[in-house]
Every structure is written in C-alpha cells, then in structure tokens.
Structure 1
Amino acid sequence: MVRQTNPGSAAYCAWSQQNGPNKALIFSSIFISFKGVIDGVGAGCRSLIGVDGTHLKGNYGGILKDCNRGDDWCIMSDRQKGIDPALTELWPEVKRSATSPFTFKKAMNRIKKANHLALVWLSKLGDQERWTKHKYDPKICSDENTSNFVESSNATLGVDRCRPILTLLEGIRRVCMTRIASRRQKCQDWNNADPCPNIVKRIRKLMHDSRTCKAYQSRKGEYEIMEGKSMLPVSLNNKNCICGVWQTTGIPCRHAIRAILAAGYDPHRYVSTWYSGRAYKQAYAHHINTIPDHEHWP
C-alpha cells in the first residue's frame, strides 16, 4: 500500500520461518522510506544522518531504528546496541562524527592528565574525523556531535510505542505526513535568499553577545578580535575564525559578527545557504500521500 499510494517509495518487509510442522512465517523486520521524504532530503538537506534506536514497549518488544538526515555523508550515532558495528561493516568509509585544532589539543592534554588510558581508548576509535568536531567536513555545516536530535523522536511517538506494528507504523506515517505539510505551509511567505527565522534569532543573539568583543582591522576583510585577554584572527574573505565555529556550522560566531559589523556589512550575508528560506522550502516541497484504512486494502 505504501508503494501503491506513494509511487517511488521504498518498502521492504522481512519474515522468518518458524520451526515446527506448520512452518509459519513470523514477522522479522520492515523498512519504509517515503518518496516525499527521499526527494526532500536530496533537494534541501545537509549530508548529516542521525541514527538511534527506539525500544518498543508493547508485548512483542523490538527496536525501531530511526534515521534523520539532513555524496559526502556524516553519521551520528551513540555507538551502542550494535549500531556502530553495523555501520563499520556496511559503510566503513563514512565519517562518524566531527572546535579548532588548538582547543582540541588542549582538551586532549586535560584528558591525559586525568587518565592517560582514556587517550588509548580514543585512539582505538579510528581516524579523528570519526569522533572530533574540528575534523568535521565544513560542507556539512553542523556543530552536532550527539544523537539528541534523533532521540527527540521517542517523545514524538508517545503511546504508539506500545501499540502493534501496523498501528505504530501508521502513527509514524501520519506524524511525518502532517509535519511536512505544516512546515511547507509555514515557509510559503519566506524570502528565498534570507536565512530562516530561527537563524535570524540566532544571529540577533550573537550580535548581542559580540558587544564584549573589540575589532582591530589588519586590512580589508581581515581583523583581530579581542575578547577579554584573547585575540582571535577573523577573515571575512575566507569566512573563518580561529575558534572554528564559523567553519563548522556555517553561521558566523560572535567574533566574526563583530568583524562583520565593524566592516559595515550585514551578518545575514555570511550565513551558509543551507539555512536559507530556499533550502527549507526545497526540503519540504514534497509530500506523503494519504493511505486508506487497512480495511480497504486488498
């Protein structure tokens, strides 16, 4: 029914055969990805995937694996319950997680003083681009290094986690369908070139926080920003700050904001296009078609 009502969607169901004379088929697993979500991800979402497991509360137990994204990928997971071993086996080359090299080195020195064995454990995790933020691919434009943004789905599911599989899946489908529709409607009047409203609020707060900084110009587009006793180079030409936040997130940090304002420019111009109204509209431009009640299925 998913493929019939939403052409182009992926839906696969797996069964195992029970031992015994009847050889009954027992439900094993199901995977669903709606065409409207696939198209939205490809058009307007960054290459960041969060993977988390939701333990179901019904009589049959089980785990719902939720994947939010959103061809250079970065995957966030809690490295538990088999998720990380599975990713290592099936997708070994992908970056797992990903703040500047200087602050990273300071943090490692503090860890070494506390317990040198912790550094041994970290070294066994693989390349630094799998677990340190300063090694993030800057094209992804995200400062996330936790799975919190997918764990929020647990609260969204609510009581559906205790219900049978078809009821659970219908609840998830309906939540996704209405969320996409409501967000598509919300952004209709947004200017394509402007940052989204939440980013505008974030920039406003950063402008307020930047009041404690002082800008000293070196040449056009190049500044030193004094914050307390610290002096941080900022380049508007290369869109980076030594603190690493601007490169990682795609949003100017407070030091960069102070340099931008000193140069007489609009901070919104220096926000990554991933946060634009156009990208948001592309992410929610598609939809999930309705599916009739199971009594109307063949």
Structure 2
Amino acid sequence: MSIRKMKAKVSTKFNLIVSVTQCRNARRHALDEIEGCLIEHYGKVWSYGEEITRTNPGSTVKIDVNVMPDSTTYFSKIYVCFKGVKDGWIAACRRVIGVDGCFLKGICRGQLLATIGMDANNHIFPIAWAVVEVENKETWKWFLDLLLDDIEMRIVHGLTLISDQHKRLSKKGFQQHNIDNVLSTSMLTSRKDSKAFFEVDRACDAYENGISECFNSIIDLARKRPLITMLEEIRIYAMERMYKMLLEGQSWGNLKIYPSIRLKISKLKKHQRFWGVIHSGIQQYEVRLGNDGYAVDLNNNTCGCRSWQVSGIPCVHGVASISYLNRNAEDYVAPWFHTTMFLTCYNHTINPLNGSSMWPEVTYMKPLPPQKRRETSHTRSTCLTRPKDAASTSLPKKKKANKCKIEKGIVEPVQEDPIQVEAHAQPDDDVQVDDPAPHVDVHVYDPVNDVPAQHVDVHVDDPVNDVPAQPVATGKRTRKYSERITKIGLRSNALKKEGSIDHHPLVLE
C-alpha cells in the first residue's frame, strides 16, 4: 500500500488526519513486525539454503559472504537452482537461454540475476536466479559458472545465449579479462540482433530478450520485499507454474503439437495458395510468386528463406510444397514443439518447504546485511583519503557585472568575453564646456585581432528637465546596446517625419 493510499484510508475509516511521515513510519513498523528486520532476514540465509537442499536433493544453493578482519561477516551473494527445474530444462527445452539483471526496489539493495529458458509452447521457463550486490564481470562470471554446471553445458556445445548486448556479457569483454573459460567460442552464439546470423538448429526465431523482461515484470512486486521473502515468492511462483503447465499440457489430449503452433500453421495455409510450386526432384521444389522464388527441400526440412531452419516451423513456402503433396504440415514441425516434449518438461516438480521456524540450524556465522557502497555525507571535500595539499579542480565562478555600476556608467571590463567594451566620457569640440549634454564615446575592441571592431558616438540629453540624462549603459552586452541605439535612431527618424521631434523627451544627436 502506498503512503498516500494509507493516509486516505485512515482518514476515511477512522476519521483521523495523519501526516505522511506518520504513515511511512507505521508501514515500516508493520513490515518489520510481519517480515522481520533486515538483520534477521540475512541471518536466515544459511538456514534457508539448508532447507532447500534437504527438501529438494540435487538442488544447488551457493552463498558467498565477506569476512572482515574483525571477523564481522557481511552478505555478498546467493545462487539458487532447483533440481526439478534444471532436469526439466535438460530433458525437453531448447538450447536457448536468456540472461538479464534487474535492480531490487525495496529496502534490500542489490541486483537480481536470472536465467530464463523457453518451453515447447514458447513460454518462459525460469532456470536459476541469484542476488548480488552489484552487476559486474566478476558476479556474472560467478553466476554463469554455476549455471553451466547445473544445466550440463560446460562441455557439451550448442548453447545460444540471448542478452541485452551488455558489455559485461560479451565474449570480447570476457576474453579481455582472461575469463573466456566461462563461455567458449564454439558453445556461445553471440550475434547482433538479426535473424540472418541465427543458428539453424535451435528452433528459436526470437532475437530480442523478451523472455527475461517478461520474468522481470512478473516478479516486480517480489523485488520490493526483503531478501528471504523475495526468494520465497520467486520459488512459489516457479513451483505453482510447473504444476499448472503440467495440467494444461494434459488437457490437450492426443494433439501432436500444442494449439498455438496449430493456429500459426493454419494461417500459413491461407497464404500458401498464392505461391506456385514447381517440381524439381524427389521432394525438392521451387516455390515462386512473381519474381520471388525459393528452393524447398522436404527431405532436410529446409527453405531458401531460412525461416524454417531458424524457427523449426514450416514457412509459407514449405507449407505450399507440403500441401502440393497433400500431406499434413504438422508432421514437419520440429520435435521441440511436440506435446510430449511439453509434458516431459513439466513432469518434474519443486518440492515444498517448511516454515522458517522449522528450518535447520547451522553453525555458520550469521551474515549481516551488505555494506553500503557509498558512505553518507561523503563528498570530495570531506574525504579522509584526499591529500590536504591537493589543488581544487573546480573552475572559478564567473563574476557578474555590478548592476549599480552599469547604471552609473562605470563599466568593469569582462575578462571571459573575447570582445571587451570600454566607455568613457570626454568633452566634445562642438559643445561648450557648460553644455550639460554628455558625450559617450564607446569603443568596442577585438583582442584577438588587436584592432577596434566598432566605434559608436552617442549623445543623449534630457531637454525636458534640462539636465544631462544618465549615459547609456555599455558593458559586455554590446549587442543589446547596439539594438537599443538602433531603435532610438529609428524612432527619431519616424518622429522627424511626423514633425513631433521637439516634443519627444529623448533626442539623438
């Protein structure tokens, strides 16, 4: 429940007006009572791992801690992979996985790394997940090392990995840091987002990492929970999902392939009538539509467009050739999409766990919550490790021109501008000494070329009050001053034409 919603509910139900701070403190207190404080949660990590391995033999739970010189232990990372999940992936899932990381949103800070596979219905299949302090090359190496051992892909080649092209997951990045033993070149397919470079024996035409993003959105609320609560919600989700998918697969009856593939093939059958099939050899055809033509080989289940090889499902050209022989296109679908593979995948289960009060006690030192990566009130000026005689790298602030001095005609030169302005008053030869009209001589210099760029003579007086008016402010904004002089000149010319120049308070000589 959000803070504002809590405040509105208290006001409606109890007719009380509470502040936002009171609601925030009350929610925090309630969460501490229900879910326990952070120290208690992280202190149960060892017991949680022992309970998983006790109820699910063969599962992998790896916990890493940081031990300080004073024997204080801090939590670092945890990896979880259940026996039923990895057995289901090995038995009936395609050799395609997606890896991605997401931030934890609650009071527990860190990141969640997850590996997601695809079942026979192109649905997500969570394989393993881990909580780490920060996402970097070291944590990804640690995570992928454990993952490849669990799914038995350390030696067997043929794994396609889909990611968001993060530099920490690229082969080049691994090789640069001498950890290319994690993913060898022959076992990892690392290509750009293009189907033209996809492997032809993976039965997967998805080139975006949508399966990982889908999993991240499903566990969005769980990522706001404390550590053990979040891990338990992910486990319960995976456990329930495997049972529901098993019931769904059993409801299909005697269907050879699952309904979504049948629907896709039925749509292709509607479009195949536009393509002409030319017999070439034994189950070899050339399928044409206008100037487009593709070679189809039903012996090897291949097509010139490569869509059949990549996706494992006959393309429209293959369906046209199959229909030419009056055969069923479902017989040419890759075995990865058969109902039997789907049932085999979800025939394994995740065994339930007992409550936290019944978890086994361990003799390990209970870890504390991870240390904060950034200290509070830690700035460059207060850093203790910064040398005292270190020169400041900050640039001096530009001084603004004094507004009062500009109004009085005393203009200070501005050093940061390439063109400087100098203004001074001097007597005019055509004006008597007792003439109150001042003569403002403006010199605009160009220091780059060392030549005067502009020379403007301005005489401004106030004939109404018979006193010299304040000289026009000149400074670093020479363009604005020039525009003002131009406007005064245009207005003066207009008044001269109208014959009312003598009645105007400003006269431009």
Scaled by the length of structure 1, the TM-score of the pair is: 0.83
User: Which structure 2 residue ranges, 5 or more long, are not aligned?
Assistant: 1-50, 119-155, 361-509
Q: Aligned partners of 1:78 and 1:144: how far apart in 2?
A: 13
Q: Map of 1:207-226 to 2, 5 A cutoff?
A: 207-226=269-288
| Higher helix residue share | 1
**Any conservation in 2 of the 1:96–1:131 contact (CA below 8 Å)?**
no
Equivalent residue, structure 2, for 1:91: 183
Amino acid at match of 2:200: P
**Any conservation in 2 of the 1:77–1:96 contact (CA below 8 Å)?**
no
1:275 aligns with 2:341: no
**Any conservation in 2 of the 1:51–1:66 contact (CA below 8 Å)?**
yes
Q: Aligned partners of 1:5 and 1:67: how far apart in 2?
A: 23
Q: Shift in Å at residue 97 of structure 1? A: 4.0
Amino acid at match of 1:283: C
Q: Shift in Å at residue 192 of structure 1? A: 6.5
Equivalent residue, structure 2, for 1:12: 62
Q: Aligned partners of 2:329 and 2:190: how far apart in 1?
A: 28
**Any conservation in 1 of the 2:108–2:225 contact (CA below 8 Å)?**
no
Equivalent residue, structure 1, for 2:45: none
Q: Aligned partners of 2:162 and 2:114: how far apart in 1?
A: 12
Once the two structures are superposed, residues 171-228 of structure 1 have per-residue CA deviations (whole angstroms, 9 ceiling, x without a partner) of: 1000100000000111124457711111111111222232332222223412211234
Equivalent residue, structure 1, for 2:78: 30
Amino acid at match of 2:271: D
Q: Shift in Å at residue 232 of structure 1? A: 1.3
Question: 205, 210, 220: which one pairs with 1:158?
Answer: 220
CA distance 1:267–1:248, change in 2 (3 Å):
same
**Any conservation in 2 of the 1:214–1:227 contact (CA below 8 Å)?**
yes
CA RMSD, Structure 1 to Structure 2 (Å): 2.0
Once the two structures are superposed, residues 230-268 of structure 1 have per-residue CA deviations (whole angstroms, 9 ceiling, x without a partner) of: 111111122111000001111100111111111111000
**Any conservation in 1 of the 2:296–2:318 contact (CA below 8 Å)?**
yes
Q: Map of 1:10-159 to 2, 5 A cutoff?
A: 10-18=60-68, 21=70, 23-70=71-118, 71=156, 72-80=158-166, 82-84=168-170, 85-86=173-174, 89=180, 90-93=182-185, 94-97=187-190, 133-159=195-221
For the residue of structure 2 that corresponds to 1:91, the secondary structure is coil
**What stretches of structure 1 move > 4 A for 4+ residues in a row?**
none
Identity, % of aligned positions:
31
**Any conservation in 1 of the 2:116–2:212 contact (CA below 8 Å)?**
yes
Equivalent residue, structure 1, for 2:296: 234
Amino acid at match of 1:41: W
Once the two structures are superposed, residues 104-150 of structure 1 have per-residue CA deviations (whole angstroms, 9 ceiling, x without a partner) of: xxxxxxxxxxxxxxxxxxxxxxxxxx765344332221112221111
For the residue of structure 1 that corresponds to 2:352, the secondary structure is coil
Q: Shift in Å at residue 166 of structure 1? A: 0.6
**Any conservation in 1 of the 2:193–2:208 contact (CA below 8 Å)?**
no
Q: Aligned partners of 1:290 and 1:273: how far apart in 2?
A: 32
Aligned residues: 265
**Any conservation in 2 of the 1:235–1:241 contact (CA below 8 Å)?**
yes
Scaled by the length of structure 2, the TM-score of the pair is: 0.49
Q: Aligned partners of 1:279 and 1:191: how far apart in 2?
A: 14
Give the greater-gyration-radius structure (CA).
2
